[in-house]
């Protein structure tokens, strides 16, 4: 299995690659890991897709170092470096979209574009904060079977896919998972978002009501941004509306001239 080896205090990172073309790295939410993007693999005809488990999650390594958003963005860079990719499109889902924002701000020379699914620039709404606090509490109490069951069932209606995701989540380190939630809860890119100079696709489920207001600030400060709603779904866009999600990604990549062969 492909791993990025430990590097100083940075743990090993489990990743998978498939396809050819535009490098597209997919960053998951806390605990969930690479399997949450299983339905995005149909983009492999136009993209080199890279999925991975965040440090402490699933099959990735553990570290005693206190977790930071800068570390999580650096791990994305490590994945790109290992795959020999100079620049790519960075796609993040939920808290993974916060990591994607930090990557684009820290490594603009490595970023061709951003796809942000269910994204926010900081945790400002009461309901979103409660979700993070519940995640921190459950991980600190090591209620991993309950947390894994809820996350797996929320993301997949298919029983087999749900069971596979459950088995991945249950492997996550609860203490590092609590840190990951805490890092996401504390993160803000509000004062730096205007520095992002690549095109952004911002995607929400039409029923993801308490996140949709975040779009207004994105629209205000980002020069090249498209905002789309996907009908009939809440937050779990990659798994509950994969065909619409993938079609929007494919169309946006084409409009932004980001689809190219491996030899470009």
- Three-state DSSP at 187 gives coil
The CA dihedral of 187, 79, 195, 238, to the nearest 10 degrees, is -70
What is the full per-residue pLDDT of the chain (264 aa) written as tens digits?
698 887 888 999 999 999 999 999 999 999 999 999 999 999 999 999 999 999 999 999 999 999 999 999 999 999 999 999 999 999 999 999 999 999 999 999 999 999 999 999 999 999 999 999 999 999 999 999 999 999 999 999 999 999 999 999 999 999 999 999 999 999 999 999 999 999 999 999 999 999 999 999 999 999 999 999 999 999 999 999 999 999 999 999 999 999 986 544
Give the HSE-up count for residue 63: Cα atoms under 13 Å, Cβ half-sphere.
Answer: 23
Using CA atoms, how far residue 178 sits from 7, 38, 101, 111, in Å, is: 23, 25, 21, 28
- Domain 3-124+188-255 listed as CATH 3.50.50.60: no
Residue 86 CB-half CA count within 13 A: 4
> Residue 208: CA atoms inside 13 Å, Cβ hemisphere, count?
26
Measured between alpha carbons, how far is 61 from 235 in angstroms, rounded to an integer? 28
CA 25 to chain centre: 9
């Amino acid at each position: 299995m492909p791993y990025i080896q430990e590097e100083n205090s940075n743990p090993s990172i489990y990743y998978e690659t498939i396809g050819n073309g535009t490098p597209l790295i997919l960053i998951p939410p806390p605990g969930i890991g690479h399997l949450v993007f299983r339905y995005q693999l149909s983009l492999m005809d136009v993209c080199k897709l890279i999925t991975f488990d965040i440090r402490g999650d699933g099959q990735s390594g553990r570290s005693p170092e206190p977790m930071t958003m800068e570390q999580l963005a650096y791990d994305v860079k490590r994945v790109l470096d290992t795959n020999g990719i100079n620049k790519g499109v960075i796609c993040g889902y939920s808290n993974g979209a916060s990591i994607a924002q930090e990557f684009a701000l820290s490594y603009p020379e490595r970023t061709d574009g951003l796809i942000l699914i269910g994204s926010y620039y900081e945790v400002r709404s009461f309901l979103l904060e409660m979700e993070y606090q519940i995640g921190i509490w459950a991980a600190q109490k090591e209620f991993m079977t309950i947390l894994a069951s809820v996350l797996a069932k929320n993301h997949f209606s298919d029983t087999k896919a749900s069971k596979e995701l459950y088995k991945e989540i249950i492997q996550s380190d609860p203490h590092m998972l609590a840190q990951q939630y805490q890092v996401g809860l504390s993160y803000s890119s509000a004062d730096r978002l205007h520095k992002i100079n690549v095109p952004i696709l911002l995607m929400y489920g039409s029923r993801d009501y308490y996140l949709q207001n975040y779009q207004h600030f994105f629209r205000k400060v980002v020069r090249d941004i498209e905002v789309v709603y996907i009908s009939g779904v809440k937050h779990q866009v990659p798994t509950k509306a994969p065909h619409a999600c993938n079609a929007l990604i494919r169309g946006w990549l084409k409009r932004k001239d980001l689809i190219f062969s491996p030899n470009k």
